[in-house]
Structure 1
Amino acid sequence: MGGACSRKRDPQVNEDSLQRGVSGKYCRIGSSKWLGTSISRPALDILQGRGQCPSLMELCIYKIRECLTDVSLKAFQDCALQDIYLGEYPGVSDSWMDVISSQGVSLLSVDLSGSEITNSGLIHLKDCTNLQALNLNYCDQISDHGLKHISGLSNLTTLSFRRNNAITAQGMSAFSSLVNLVKLDLERCPGIHGGLIHLKGLTKLESLNINMCHCITDADLKPLSGLTNLKGLEISRSKVTDDGVAYLKGLHKLALLNMEGCPVTAACLESLSDLPSLLSLNLNRSMLSDDGCENFARQENLRVLNLGFNDLTDACLVHLKGLTNLESLNLDSCRICDEGLANLTGLRHLKCLELSDTEVGSNGLRHLSGLANLESINLSFTAVTDSGLRKLSALSSLKSLNLDARQITDAGLAALTSLTGLTHLDLFGARITDSGTSYLRNFKNLQSLEICGGGLTDAGVKNIKDLTCLTVLNLSQNCNLTDKSLELISGLTALVSLSVSNSRITNAGLQHLKQLKNLKSLTLDSCKVTVNDIKKLQSKDLPNLVSFRPE
């Protein structure tokens, strides 16, 4: 959680802020014949330390990419490449397609996202009859006419056309021949209303993403009723109502259903209760209210329930008592307080609980003390105080705790010292001082730590330097930290992400980071450092650093 600045979240999603080019590279096990990769990892991998050091092949391919043009690409003509990833690579156009298509039946996957490929360019793929995965996200020049050229690729199992304004319902008729399609992604395609009728015969389809297609209505879901292998359906920000949800009753394999922002009411839960495989349900920002919430109790097999940003109050929570298999519950920004939490005491399998931006206070936490399997809890922006945190001290399974609230102080941290299994601790806005950091020594397993309340000096960082498991450390907004702090944490060699923004760090202090060979993300905004000095550090000592600020 958290960044360098205040993180009070806007409940409305800015669709244009979603990153482009983070689609995963298609890669077959055992295949070494592919062109194109990116050394940079998705932001989530950087923050959580899941990325691996690039292999020698990746480094070589990366160097090739630096100078790759339609001319130099000719060297790969007829090379029987299996996987080609050129997503977001500059200059990719129809002139590249001759070389790409020359791979013929060897070609198994292609990603040309964000390119200048047009309808004419897709003609070249007709001989790549073994193609299994095709990614054309953000390709603005592809329209219905282009879809006709891929209609013969019957071996396709994965197809993605995210954010395309030119594809219409009529053009989607080309999909009807893709009988082996397993995954189809049409997120943010505003012209596809009426086109899902062409998916009716795709009985192998398991995943359909039409998130943020505002044109989708109840009638569009009717053709999906026969896709009995469907396991994942995402229809957020659509016009689907309770009537549309009724068409899903026969999808007995459906495990994931995302209806965030849809104008449904609690009445839709009657239909959802007939989905025995449902594991994840997102009704975030829908029109759900207390009325009809008794239908929750019928969904006995539901394991993940997301009700964030709904008009729910404590009265509704009584209907959650029957969901004894529930493992994850999101009540973010719902109008609930301490009394409502009494209804959660029987949810013994609960592992993840989201209570941020609610009216929950210290008294309510007593109802959580018996949830022995709880692994993650978010209490950011609640009324919980230091005294209330003592009620969490017996939750020995707790691994992740978010306490981003100004009223939390050193005393609250002291009350948590028995939670030695914590791996993620977010104290972003809490008023932790140097004295309070002494309690951090009890959390030897911490992998992620954020303390950004402005109360730390170099003296407090001394108590952090021995947390050798840390991969993510955010100490931004502590304006009294100096280069000495970088010296103190120089031994945290597992660090993947480090932020010390708005501090007194200087260029001279950068030398202390040389030992952090795993560092991939470095944020030093509003510090006395220059871009050139960070780049020098990157080139000489930190080869894995792929994201830094200032830049």
Structure 2
Amino acid sequence: MGAACSRKRDQLDNVDGFDRGVSGRYCKSGSSKWLATTFSRPVLEIQREKKKCPLLLELCTYKIREDIDNYVSFSTLPRDLSQQIFNELVKSQRLTDVSLEAFRDCALQDLYLGDYPGVNENWMDVISSQGSSLLSLDLSGSDVSDPGLIYLKDCVNLQDLNLNYCDQISDRGLKHISGLSNLRSLTFRRNSAITAQGMAALSGLVNLMKLDLEKCPGIHGGLIHIKGLTKLESLSIKWCNCITDADMKPLSGLTNLKSLQISCSKVTDFGITYLKGLQNLSVLNLEGCPVTASCFDTLSVLVSLLFLNLSRCNLSDDGCEKLSKLGNLKVLNLGFNDISDACLIHLKVHFFCNTYLGLTNLESLNLDSCRIGDNGLVHLTGLQNLKCLELSDTEVGSNGLRYLSGLCKLESINLSFTVVSDGGLRELSGLTSLKSLNLDARQITDAGLAALTSLTGLTHLDLFGARITDSGTSHLRNLRNLRSLEICGGGLTDAGVKNIKDLSSLSLLNLSQNCNLTDKTLEMISGLTGLISLNVSNSRVTSAGLRHLKPLKNLRSLTLEACKVTANDIRRLQSAGLPNLVNFRPE
């Protein structure tokens, strides 16, 4: 969250609810790139802090990294050793076009250079010298253009190629990789230069199992060229608003498809009918597509479907009867649709002929911003496998929460922007499996927190906007497993922080908008050495208090906007004792 604890409103959530992991060594999303690329430090430095003796191999790679300019070639070293040296140089951002030359003809297998600064055409000659040994190559965000891909022709065994955000690559570049028939994974996110005509080059990649063309706006009509890629298991064409129903027809024969992402396209109910034969499909993302409840006629026959995202579609209560036939679903997202309690009737589990029917396997349900009220929740009582429930911005109040008290596997509830009050929290006190609770509500006070003291398994608690005072924080003392705590806009002073300072498992702490907090707060939380993210914006914290943060060696993100602290103050703190701090505000 930012300094003002801003919340989502009227914006597309670029989250599918399914694929949250990050493949490879580096994260490719701009918002979290710094998490994966800059936090790591050499193993030797970390072990020195812990007073442990590093391994001999670690000492060697560290020494080579420091003296890299003295080496001209690693080609005589064993491949696993030269690979480790290469990885260390990338991690520490010490690899340059000069030092790269030492890795010529080293037969390296994996070159992860995603978002690495300075990668361009001049690097491709050394990259291609790995020849048939090269199995995986990530050039995301680089300045490599079409001619640079010519060099890959000798890397005949290449299996994974990542070219996300390479905006200098066009159809001509695709032709240069058309002969890499061993490719299993190819990603080309956010490329406006690739067209339907250029996609013809993909038709020969017969072993391709994963293809990602997210945010490629010129590929309408090009999916005809991949209809022969029968081994394809994962296809992402989300955020391609050029995609229409006609583009779905070539997919009808890809019977091995397990994951299909077509969110924010122009595909309608008619286009979905082409998917009937995809009986292995387990993940389907239709977020933002103009489909209606009629699409359930097709979806109900997809017996392997486990994850379904219909957020921001044109669903209404009428026609949702066939929802009940999606009995294998584990994750269902119906958020931001014009559905009400009447739709939830079709989620209800009922007993018939000695068998439980309905969505008995459902583990996650998203009803964000739907017209759901207290009476609708009665239809959820039979969802005994439910672990995650999203009710943000609904009409649910305290009375409806009593229907959730029997869902013993529930681990996460979001009640942001609802009218739940203190009384409603008492209905949740028996949910001992609960780990995450969002309560962005003005109706929650200190009395409500008292009802949460039994939820000792909580790891995430968000109290944005709640009327919490110093007295209320005393109820948090027993929540020793909390890793994330957000109390924004409350009435906290330094006295209330005393009840938080011993929650040693915390990695994220957000106390922004508590305008009476002072430097004393920073002193009290200095013992929370596991903190990775800290936000104390809009408080009375000053630059003099920053010295108290020096023990927080793991701190990566620090937000102190609207405080008497400047960017230079934070930079001095960073250089003096917080080497992992890479994201800070003001900046």
TM-score (norm 2): 0.86
1:544 Cα shift?
Answer: 2.2
Please point out which of 255, 260, 267 is paired with 1:228.
255
Are 2:370 and 1:334 equivalent residues in the alignment? yes
Q: State the alpha-carbon separation in 2 of the partners of residues 116 and 171 from structure 1.
A: 20
Partner of 1:536: 572
Select 1:262's aligned residue among 271, 279, 289: 289
Decide whether aligned partners of structure 1 residues 275 and 130 sit closer, same or farther in structure 2, where only a CA change above 3 A counts: same
Residue matched to 1:387: 423
Structure 1 residues 437 and 41, CA, compared in 2 at 3 Å: closer, same or farther? farther
Equivalent residue, structure 2, for 1:188: 215
Return the letter of the residue paired with 1:3: G
The answer on 1:490 being equivalent to 2:523 is no
How many Å apart are 1:261 and its aligned residue?
0.5
Report the secondary structure of 1:473's partner residue: strand
Aligned to 2:43: 55
Aligned match of 2:273 in 235, 246, 265?
A: 246
**Alpha-carbon distance in structure 2 between the residues aligned to 1:8 and 1:305:** 22
User: Where do residues 109-258 of structure 1 align in structure 2 (5 Å cutoff)?
Assistant: 109-258=136-285
Q: After superposition, give the CA deviation of every residue in 1:483-533 in whole Å (9 maximum; x if it has no partner).
A: 111111111111111111111112221221122122221111222223233
Q: Deviations over 1:113-157 (max 9, x none)?
A: 222222111111101111111111122221111111001111111
Does structure 2 conserve the Cα–Cα contact (< 8 Å) formed by 1:26 and 1:83? no
Which AA in structure 2 matches 1:43? Answer: S
Q: Which runs of 5+ in 2 are unaligned?
A: 45-57, 66-87, 349-357
AA paired with 2:265?
S
- List 4+ stretches of structure 1 deviating above 6 A: 37-42
Answer with 111-120 or 397-406: which moved more: 111-120
Contact 2:5–2:512, Cα closer than 8 Å, also in 1 = no
- Of stretches 536-545 and 152-161 in structure 1, the one that deviates more from structure 2 is 536-545
Amino acid at match of 1:374: L
Bigger shift: residues 180-189 or 89-98: 89-98
Q: Is contact 1:46–1:497 with CA below 8 Å preserved after alignment?
A: no
Higher mean C-alpha deviation, range 145-154 or range 113-122: 113-122
Task: Rate the CA distance shift 1:445–1:71 in 2: closer, same or farther, 3 A.
Answer: closer
**Other-structure match for 1:298:** 325
- Distance in 1, matches of 2:445 and 2:338, equals 31
Contact 2:282–2:304 (CA<8 Å) still a contact in 1? Answer: yes
Q: Which of 515, 520, 535 is the equivalent residue of 2:551?
A: 515
User: 2:454: which partner in 1?
Assistant: 418
- Does structure 2 conserve the Cα–Cα contact (< 8 Å) formed by 1:78 and 1:103? yes
5 Å-filtered alignment, 1:456-471, equals 456-471=492-507
Which stretch shifts more, 5-14 or 262-271? 5-14
Q: Given residue 5 of structure 1, which amino acid in structure 2 is its aligned partner? A: A
* Superposition deviation, residue 53 in structure 1: 5.8
Instruction: Read off the aligned partner of 2:43 and give its amino acid letter.
Output: S
* 3-state SS of paired residue (1:184): strand
Tell me the distance in 1 between the aligned counterparts of 2:227 and 2:444: 54
The residue aligned with 2:10 is 11
Flag the 1:195–1:41 CA change in 2: closer, same or farther, 3 A: closer
Greater RCO (CA < 8 Å, at least 6 residues apart): 1
> Does structure 1 retain, via aligned residues, the 8 Å contact 2:28–2:140?
no
Deviations 1:1-46 (A, max 9, x none): x43214231232388x99xxx995636xxxxxxxxx7999973995
1:344 is matched with 380
Aligned partner of 1:78 among 102, 105, 126? 105
Rate the CA distance shift 1:40–1:163 in 2: closer, same or farther, 3 A: closer
d(CA) in 1 for partners of 2:124 and 2:90? 21
Q: Which residue of 1 aligns with 2:355?
A: none
Write the distance in 1 (CA, Å) between the matches of 2:146 and 2:21.
22
Separation in 2, partners of 1:472, 1:357: 24
In structure 2, the residue matched to 1:34 is: none
Residues 258-267 or 404-413, more deviating = 404-413
For residue 72 of structure 1, report the CA deviation from its aligned partner.
4.3
Alpha-carbon distance between aligned partners in 2 of 1:39 and 1:365, rounded to the nearest angstrom = 39
Matched residue SS, 1:442: coil
User: Structure 1 residue 62: deviation in Å?
Assistant: 5.0
Aligned partner of residue 477 in structure 2, secondary structure:
helix
Mapped to 2, the partners of 1:44 and 1:410 lie a distance apart of: 38
Q: Distance in 2 between matches of 1:67 and 1:491?
A: 33
Partner amino acid, structure 1, of 2:254: L
Structure 1 equivalent of residue 52 of structure 2: none
The farther-off stretch of 368-377 and 84-93 is 84-93
Alignment partners' CA distance in 2, 1:221 and 1:424: 41
What's the RMSD between the two structures over aligned residues? 2.6
Residue equivalent to 2:53: none
Contact 2:41 2:92 in 1 (8 A): no
Please tell me whether the aligned partners of residues 42 and 92 of structure 2 are also in contact (alpha carbons under 8 angstroms): no
Q: Among 514, 521, 545, which residue is 1:478 paired with?
A: 514
Distance in 2, Cα, partners of 1:39 & 1:339: 43
Deviation at residue 219 of structure 1 after TM alignment: 1.7
**Using a 3 Å threshold, how does the CA distance of structure 1 residues 52 and 412 change in structure 2: closer, same or farther?**
farther
Q: Does 1:310 align with 2:309?
A: no
- 1:45 and 1:331, CA in 2 relative to 1: closer, same or farther beyond 3 A? farther
The one-character-per-residue Cα deviations of 1:347-394 (angstroms, maximum 9, x if unpaired) are: 111111000011111111111111111111000000111111111111
Name 1:26's counterpart in structure 2. Answer: 24
TM-score, structure 1 length as denominator? 0.91
The Cα of 1:196 is off from its aligned counterpart by 1.1
* Distance in 1, Cα, partners of 2:522 & 2:41: 23
In the aligned structure 2, how far is the partner of 1:55 from the partner of 1:388?
48
The one-letter code matched in structure 2 to 1:441 is R
What residue identity is the alignment partner of 1:8? R
Shift in alpha-carbon separation, 1:228–1:470, aligned structure 2, 3 A: same
Residues 64 and 228 of structure 1, relative CA distance in 2, 3 Å threshold:
closer
Q: What is the rounded CA distance, in whole Å, between the counterparts of 1:476 and 1:318 in structure 2?
A: 41
Q: Which runs of 5+ in 1 are unaligned?
A: 28-36
Counterparts of 2:91 and 2:530 in 1: how far apart (Å)?
Answer: 30
